[in-house]
Amino acid sequence: MILEKSITDNTIINQGYSPQNVNDSITNTMQYLDAVIFSSTPDGLRYHFITAGIKKILGVSSEEAVANPKKLMHMIVPEDFPIFRELVNKVRSRESGTVEYRMHHTSGALLYIRHTAYPVFEGDKLVRIDGIVYNITGEIESRVQLQKSQEKLRGIIETADDLIFTLDKQGSFVSINNSGAMHLEYLPFEINGKHFLEFVSDESKSTIARSFQEILKTKNKVAFDAVFKSKYGKTIVFEINARAIFEGAVLDGVLGIGRNITVRRTEQEKVKELNNKLIEANRIISIERDRAKQKISILEELNRLKNEFVSNISHELRTPLASIIGFAETIDSDRDMPNEMKTEFNQIIMTEAKRLSKLINDVLDISRIEEGKISLVKAEFSIQEILEPLLEQYKKKIEDKGIVFWAELPKQKVYLLGDKARILQVFENILSNSLKFTNEGRITLLAQTLYREFELIITDTGIGIPKKDLPYIFQKFYRVSRPGSEIPGTGLGLAFVKQIVDLHKGFITIQSEDQKGTTVVIKFPIIKQD
């Protein structure tokens, strides 16, 4: 394509197109443009030319403008006139310039104008001013509109109680709203420029860093909780929703909105804590309920045992009393009773009275031990001292019942420290039970020492104790129920034995098999042996 010389230095004309054609085209186009090109004398009082667009912009034709150049100046909004004058002065001082001011259209409508002027010199002399005027009303209106909506947005951001922020790609604050900063007890300028992680607690740093990685990776909104440390050390929890912001396809930063959930969190934690306490309280209540139930059943059992005891003891008391009264009355009513008979009856009265007294003492002893009122009279004594006479006494009673009796005591004297009378009672109780509950076979007693302990093993081939009763055998009033073959007793003997053994830091155990026999083992610490 061959290009012809241009009509001006700036316009290139294609072959076959004349400069006149170009002028026509420019003139034609200029009337539709929202811009006016002009050229005036340096004083601005005469236009060399002014393009047709002036009609479109201001409602004044080029001819009118050329005829009356001041007309256009009068259309400038008076308050903005100094801006226009400033431009004129600038151009006269040989500089080009651009200003914006307002004008009134001939219809009265307000217009925004951008005016650029260039000084043209010939040698040193300013010969004319060229320029261009744009109608920028549309642009200004959308700028104002944009400003208004930006202000609205800023208003919303500032009045919102939420934390609203933007971060750069590295995670440093670019902006933060006032109320957000206030939640953290800072002013926005103290936060901007610093890294997000500088404001969060150490424990939540790693989770937050992970959330940021996810934000950058997924491009989706990511929600996470962040525990912040305020300027004065308060812990504030925010529930944050954040997403990456892009400029085109390039990552520009992160936008986030956070809601202060500290109170909610604390309330939730309180509720959780209360729930745990409630669960604990319920557990305690159910434990206490079980315990109360257990206590009730123990009390009921004790009550039952007591009732049984009352009826047993009445029977136990009544039997010796009946024979005491019976024999005493017989002696009294028969004046001629031979002396030997009297002596025999007196013997019976004495034995029964002693049984009575023992029974009463047993009851008293047990209650004294339970109340902690019993005082042991401790002294050093030998095992032989109490066992030899006891065996003497029982050997006869046992053999009288047709039972084989065998006993072995240690050769050397074994000494214990304790209440001799009470320990004697212990041995006697065990021996008397063997006698009471054995009808045939053997009763053996083995007394021996093992290291620093004295051990007494009493075995019988009596009726034994059923397995189910063994755990309760040391409870007071507890007696093995044997319907049809009830053997008298109070259920106090073994309870008393256990209490005395314990008071002497001894040990007792009973092994038994129903209908086969019973073995009782008692141990006491030795203080010396000969």
* Residue 493 is a binding residue for ligand ADP (CB under 6 A): yes
Smallest gap from Cβ 491 to ligand ADP, in A, equals: 5
* Residue 434 is a binding residue for ligand ADP (CB under 6 A): yes
Cβ proximity to ligand ADP: between 200 and 508 the closer is 508
Amino acid identity for residue 444 in this structure: T
* Residue 489 is a binding residue for ligand ADP (CB under 6 A): yes
Task: Give CA angle at 500 (495, 506), nearest 5°.
Answer: 110
* Residue 60 is a binding residue for ligand ADP (CB under 6 A): no
Cβ proximity to ligand ADP: between 157 and 430 the closer is 430
Helices (H) and strands (E) in the chain, counts: 14, 20
Cβ proximity to ligand ADP: between 290 and 502 the closer is 502
The DSSP result for 84-99, as a single string, is HHHHHHHHHTT--EEE
* Contact in structure between 524 and 506 (CB atoms under 8 Å): yes
Nearest to 226 by CA among 213, 214, 243, 209: 209
* Contact in structure between 519 and 456 (CB atoms under 8 Å): no
Of the residues 480, 500, 522, 526, which one makes contact with ligand ADP according to CB under 6 A = 480
* Residue 498 is a binding residue for ligand ADP (CB under 6 A): no
Nearest to 427 by CA among 439, 411, 450, 445: 445
Q: What whole-number distance in Å separates Cα of residue 352 and Cα of residue 324?
A: 6
Total binding residues for ligand ADP by CB under 6 A?
A: 20
Contacts to ligand ADP from residues 148-167, by CB under 6 A: none
Cβ proximity to ligand ADP: between 476 and 523 the closer is 476
| Per-residue mark of binding to ligand ADP, 111-150 (x: CB under 6 A) | ----------------------------------------
- Joined tokens for residue 502: 């314990």
* Residue 53 is a binding residue for ligand ADP (CB under 6 A): no
* Residue 479 is a binding residue for ligand ADP (CB under 6 A): yes
Contacts to ligand ADP from residues 226-245, by CB under 6 A: none
CA–CA distances in Å: residue 2 to residues 8, 24, 130, 434, 519: 17, 21, 31, 146, 138
Residues in the chain: 530
Smallest gap from Cβ 288 to ligand ADP, in A, equals: 33
Cβ proximity to ligand ADP: between 216 and 356 the closer is 356
Smallest gap from Cβ 520 to ligand ADP, in A, equals: 7
| Per-residue mark of binding to ligand ADP, 458-477 (x: CB under 6 A) | --x-xxxx-------x----
Amino acid identity for residue 368 in this structure: R
Cβ proximity to ligand ADP: between 381 and 478 the closer is 478
The DSSP result for 180-209, as a single string, is HHHHTT--HHHHTTSBGGGGB-HHHHHHHH
Smallest gap from Cβ 519 to ligand ADP, in A, equals: 9
* Contact in structure between 44 and 88 (CB atoms under 8 Å): yes
Strand pairing report for 442-450 and 404-408: parallel
Q: What whole-number distance in Å separates Cα of residue 136 and Cα of residue 140?
A: 6
Cβ proximity to ligand ADP: between 434 and 499 the closer is 434
Cβ proximity to ligand ADP: between 410 and 489 the closer is 489
* Contact in structure between 113 and 134 (CB atoms under 8 Å): yes
Nearest to 172 by CA among 201, 152, 198, 150: 198
Cβ proximity to ligand ADP: between 252 and 308 the closer is 308
Catalog residues that contact ligand ADP under the rule CB under 6 A. 433-434, 437, 460, 462-465, 473, 478-480, 489-495, 518
